[in-house]
Amino acid sequence: MPKGIPEAVPADGLTTRQRRNRALTIVHTGAMKGKSTAAFGLALRGWNQGWSIGVFQFVKSAKWKVGEEAAFRALGRLHDETGEGGAVSWHKMGEGWSWIQRGPEEDHAAAAVQGWEQIKRDLAAETHRCYVLDEFTYPMKWGWVDVDEVVATLAQRPGQQHVIITGRDAAPALIEAADLVVEMTKIKHPMDAGQKGQRGIEW
């Protein structure tokens, strides 16, 4: 794929414009950090194009104020006040479903289902142009949300709605259905040398 040029063009009957502008399903998975960071980078590009951005955080605690949230909420206010960029909607599911300390599983499972139901409604209504489903691989991994239903819903979504899903252990069916899949692989990490996370890097 040198210089962004595809090596082959499928005989699918689509024009170059149709193929270029089709909605993408993107998956950022793997054990290394950076999955959400990369997803929010894509969302930032979309915001600059005037796209409506919908963020749904499935794991990180509702009490954890991540830097991306503050930045995108500020961008949302900028859009509301000046019309610049796109609208921003940021959702935290329940009290957060940390993969480190989950708490009562049935409560988190119900909250995950509620979050997925909201995403389905938004997709059907074409509410956003870009969705970040942050740490959404975990509800699928734990069996709270059906993988096949997710794949079918994404395949049938109307319009030009890009969906970015992050998290470890992405299901094989999701990987197969996605248009772009990235696996974050660790080469080195400061924690290997005993360094804890730091402001501006991890949050």
Is residue 98 in a domain? no
Q: Is residue 127 part of a domain?
A: yes
Which CATH number goes with the domain that contains 52? Answer: 3.40.50.300
Q: Confirm whether 112 is domain-assigned.
A: yes
Residue 140 lies in a domain: yes
In a domain, 53, yes or no: yes
The model's pLDDT over 144-192, given as tens digits with 9 standing for 90+, comes to 999 999 999 999 999 999 999 999 999 999 999 999 999 999 889 887 7
Structural domain count of the chain: 1
Q: What pTM was computed for the model? A: 0.88
Q: What share of the chain is helix, strand, coil (3-state, %, to 5)?
A: 40, 15, 45
Task: State yes or no: pLDDT of 106 exceeds 80.
Answer: no
